[in-house]
Amino acid sequence: MERPFTDRREAGQMLAAQLAPYAGRRDVVALALPRGGVPVAFEVAEALRVPLDVLPVCKLGTPWQPELAMGALSSNGAQYVDEALIREAGVSEAQLQSALALARIELGRRETRYRGTRAPVPVAGRVALLIDDGMATGASLKAAARALASLGPARIIAALPVAPAGARARLAEAVDDFVCVQTPSSFMSVGQFYFDFDQVDDDTVRDLLDRAAADN
């Protein structure tokens, strides 16, 4: 196993070093998956001097197997629906619309908690650094990337402190590039690679986003 990170702050600083070519570019934005990705992305945004925003995403689970994502919806209007899977799973239009309606309600709650009244950072035509504190199966990150693509970013870069070996291949169809500090062959969970992996609360997310907005 690679050396564990002390905490998400150190992980973000190490990830920022890997992303140095993007520093100071006005066409780059750091997008964090809440909540654990926010402290990591904050360090990246500070080091690279780029805007930071949060990308709350709801996976749309099939009615019979909620863990199987038939799509994803984000709070900034990004949407991805896997039409082939929906047909194969026999999901009706009414069931899909119901799932979307529930996701919009939940995303509205998250949006208020995390961003307040502040408008989302524009991503169209920009390089989006999609950041989390790590990746296990990649399902959530892939769903987020596919939803994000509907907003027209120039490129989507999956940026992670740690992911299992083979993660690049798993995400290849959803992102344009993959940057990761550690890709260990022995991988059980993201938390095993952090000494401090305490849950990130909503207040911490809001504070970091407010600080980042003040800096930009």
Name residues whose C-beta falls within 8 Å of residue 175's C-beta, 6 or more positions apart in sequence: 130, 145, 156, 157, 158
pLDDT at 77 over 80: no
Is 90 found in the same domain as 105? yes
Give the per-residue pLDDT at 68.
78
pLDDT at 49 over 90: yes
> For residue 65, what pLDDT band results from cuts at 50, 70 and 90?
confident
CA-CA distances (angstroms) from residue 146 to 35, 134, 139, 142, 191? 19, 18, 11, 6, 25
| pTM exceeding the 0.85 threshold for the entire prediction | yes
User: Is 188 among the domain residues?
Assistant: yes
Is 135 found in the same domain as 94? no
Give the per-residue pLDDT at 165.
92
Q: Choose between 216 and 143: higher pLDDT.
A: 143
Report the candidate in 100, 57, 105, 104 with the shortest Cα–Cα distance to residue 81.
100
Which residue range forms the structural domain that includes residue 77?
Answer: 58-114
Is 52 found in the same domain as 62? no
Torsion of CA 137, 91, 173, 134, to 10 degrees: -20
Q: Are 72 and 143 in contact (CB under 8 A)?
A: yes
Is 154 found in the same domain as 96? no
Is 166 found in the same domain as 134? yes
Domain count, the chain: 2
User: Is 1 among the domain residues?
Assistant: no
Give the per-residue pLDDT at 124.
95
Mean of all residue pLDDT scores within the chain = 91
Is 182 found in the same domain as 166? yes
Q: What is the pLDDT of residues 202-211, one digit of tens each?
A: 999 999 999 9
Report the candidate in 140, 151, 183 with the shortest Cα–Cα distance to residue 165.
183
